[in-house]
Amino acid sequence: MPYARELRFVYRNPTRVVFGEGSVEGVALEVGSLGGTRALVVTDEGLTKTDLPERIKSALGDKCVGVFGEVKPDSGFDVVQRGVEVAQELGADILVSVGGGSSMDTAKAMSIVIKGGGKLSDYVGAPIGGPPVPHIAIPTTSGTGSECTQIAVVKDDEREVKQIFLNDYLFPKLAILDPQMAAGMSPILTASTGMDAMTHAVEGVASVLREPIADALNLHAIRLIVEYLPQCVEKGDDLLARGQQMIAAALAGIGFANSLLGIVHSMAHIVGAKHGVPHGIANGILLPHGMRYNLEACPDRYALVAEAMGVKEKGMNAKEAATAAINAMNDFLKRIAHPQRLRDVGVPAEALEDCAAATLGELSIFTNPRPGDPNEVLKMFQEAW
Ligand SMILES: [Fe+2]
């Protein structure tokens, strides 16, 4: 794993992490320790039909001023604006997001606008200006890692793009990882969000911004995912497995907060924004294709992935080990019953050219170890279709 002597990096990890079954019960104390007195719970429409938001509301007690439950999958600018209005009406001084990436990213975007005023579109490509409203993230899925990142992805419905906000102010102050919060996920949501975490880790290891601390986080995330994600899919109430997968997602989150990502995320953001493919599913389908695309550019990095997956055999050279990692990734997708073709998740064949063209301008591609080649990217989409 050669690192250059010229290596320079800044490592970021400002989010405090609390882990354990039942740890959400301490959320009121945590709000108090952050100086909050009026917490708004931000959650998604699906979760409002479960008892999870209510559980957080009751744990918050008189520190809770309300629940904003209008977040949708791939939440957009309009939902953020509505959330800001609710927070301002209720005088919220701290946000507690409960849910997957959409809830956490919506809360991050809301925190900017509540503090800085205006609309979210004012902050596209512009500075945030100062610390936003504090945010506590309580994930109920185990993939996005958003609970430990400075990144928010929000859909700009008018332009059909996923807008990426990347700023150190967006790190949540605290992530509460309570395995009980993830126990209700369906097998397909478990598998697909788990593959989002796997993709963060693999793309982080291969990224041009890779460095030893992020490597350590990303590679251990891969080990945990290989061991525990299948158990989570097969037996959703296995809280040991749920907890370890939740930690893996956070590890990969901290990892890619530092190393950033690669071409698989670029492609996934495009098929997500244009064709509504859920983020984890898009990543899972595209990951082995992206690894094959990058194979010649970073065989030594994928050899590390092979080692973490337990498929690097003695005597293998880097390219052989990297190939073993790609094959193992395909087998892993089958083992967790993950979709394997874009055609099965609503992407029409005639859309592939547009998707390939849009991928070349997407942010994550700029940290991919191999530059975007227009013909090869289209070929990748065709092979994944
Ligand atoms: Fe992701």
Domains and CATH numbers, the chain: 16-182 (3.40.50.1970), 187-384 (1.20.1090.10)
Radius of gyration of the chain (CA): 20
How close is the Cα of 196 to the center of ligand 1, in Å? 5
The amino acid sitting at 15 is T
Q: What is the pTM of this model?
A: 0.95
How close is the Cα of 244 to the center of ligand 1, in Å? 18
How close is the Cα of 213 to the center of ligand 1, in Å? 20
Residue listed under structure tokens 């509540």: 114
How close is the Cα of 286 to the center of ligand 1, in Å? 12
Alpha helical stretches, state H, 207-349: 212-234, 239-259, 263-275, 279-294, 299-309, 318-335
Identify the CA nearest to 143 among candidates 290, 315, 265: 265
The total of other beta-carbon atoms located within 10 Å of residue 376's CB is 13
The total of other beta-carbon atoms located within 10 Å of residue 256's CB is 32
Provide the pLDDT for residue 1. 61
How close is the Cα of 185 to the center of ligand 1, in Å? 18
Question: Is there a contact between 145 and 106 (Cβ–Cβ < 8 Å)?
Answer: no
Provide the pLDDT for residue 23. 97
How close is the Cα of 63 to the center of ligand 1, in Å? 32
Provide the pLDDT for residue 378. 97
How close is the Cα of 207 to the center of ligand 1, in Å? 14
How close is the Cα of 104 to the center of ligand 1, in Å? 13
How close is the Cα of 144 to the center of ligand 1, in Å? 5
Question: Is there a contact between 209 and 9 (Cβ–Cβ < 8 Å)?
Answer: yes
The total of other beta-carbon atoms located within 10 Å of residue 186's CB is 10
How close is the Cα of 348 to the center of ligand 1, in Å? 22
Hey, CA dihedral for 83, 153, 64, 139, is it positive or negative? positive
pLDDT of the chain, 385 residues: tens digit per residue: 678 899 999 999 999 999 999 999 999 999 999 999 999 999 999 999 999 999 999 999 999 999 999 999 878 999 999 999 999 999 999 999 999 999 999 999 999 999 999 999 999 988 887 889 999 999 999 999 999 999 999 988 787 777 889 999 999 999 999 999 999 899 999 999 999 999 999 999 999 999 999 999 999 999 999 999 999 999 999 999 999 999 999 999 999 999 999 999 999 999 998 999 999 999 999 999 999 999 999 999 999 999 999 999 999 999 999 999 999 999 999 999 999 999 999 999 999 999 999 999 998 999 999 999 999 999 999 999 9
How close is the Cα of 37 to the center of ligand 1, in Å? 32
CA distance 231 to 35: 39
How close is the Cα of 203 to the center of ligand 1, in Å? 10
Provide the pLDDT for residue 47. 92
- The helices-and-strands tally (H runs, E runs) of the chain is 13, 8
How close is the Cα of 125 to the center of ligand 1, in Å? 21
